[in-house]
Structure 1
Amino acid sequence: MTIRFNLNSIPTECDCPSDRRVIDLLREDLGLTGSKEGCGTGECGACTILVDGVPKLACLMLAAQLEGTQVETVEALQQTDQGRALMTAFAEEGAVQCGYCIPGMEMASLALLRQEEPLNREQIKEGLSGNLCRCTGYVKIVDAVERAVQECCKI
């Protein structure tokens, strides 16, 4: 099956089985290894990508679901002011340890930053609730997102 979609703002066409998981398509076929497969069952959020601006779990999506969509992966994070603000905040706030969960955390955070309304700390926690971190814990991650919100939204 031929699947056409925009990947990190680049028109992309892939020939693959329609039942190929998106995480496998990204990592194995397209060489984008930033998204991680943590659990493979949708429990951890390490594989979070944005599809049409909405956080999705790449381990639970099939390649056929990408047809006609806009897909963003962590590899494109530095292409936007919000993405750069997130990366800087995560680094400077000490929100990264092993780094395994961070791509998914940053993608979920990017979706939060793009919301129309300003976010408070509780909304950030709620927005990241599907993403697990076993090393850093959540305080520094929430601090980093809060900092990025303040920088991007001038709150």
Structure 2
Amino acid sequence: MEIYLSKATAIAVLTFIQLVIVWASAFITSTALEKTIVWTEAGSVTLSLLVSIVPLAAIVTLAAFISQWFKSSPASLASGIFLYGLMAALPFAFPNLVHLFPTAYMDWYQQWLGNVNVLWLVQSFTYLFSFSSLFLTAGYYMFKAKEL
């Protein structure tokens, strides 16, 4: 379990580092272009960064699960990108499927800015946690079956 969790954790850490880089570049460019720092906006951007971890964790567990199906990293990466694109595009063709994919929650941070609907946040968090748990468990099962 530790080996598989370290794999998923490594993906999550790299994702978090990318979020921090985006946050820092947004903060630096807004400071450089506007010549003033608006601290209320810096707080909301930081809050957006922190709550964006939750939907990204669901996608990270899906990526770790997908990597169990392939022996080569490029094939795993390519299929992960294809699946992400498919999850992002399918709701346009079938609007009823929009909340079945974790990509629908990539703007989840916007719910935390302004008027917060607690019921929707609890439902979203429950779905994302369930999605993560499901794919983390399935990925670990596949990883363990490969070891034998």
TM-score band, normalised by shorter chain? under 0.3
**Larger strand proportion of the pair:** 1
Q: Could you state the TM-score of these two structures normalised by the residue count of structure 1?
A: 0.23
**Larger helix proportion of the pair:** 2
Task: Report 1 or 2 for greater relative contact order, CA contacts < 8 Å, sequence distance ≥ 6.
Answer: 2
| Structure of higher CA gyration radius | 2
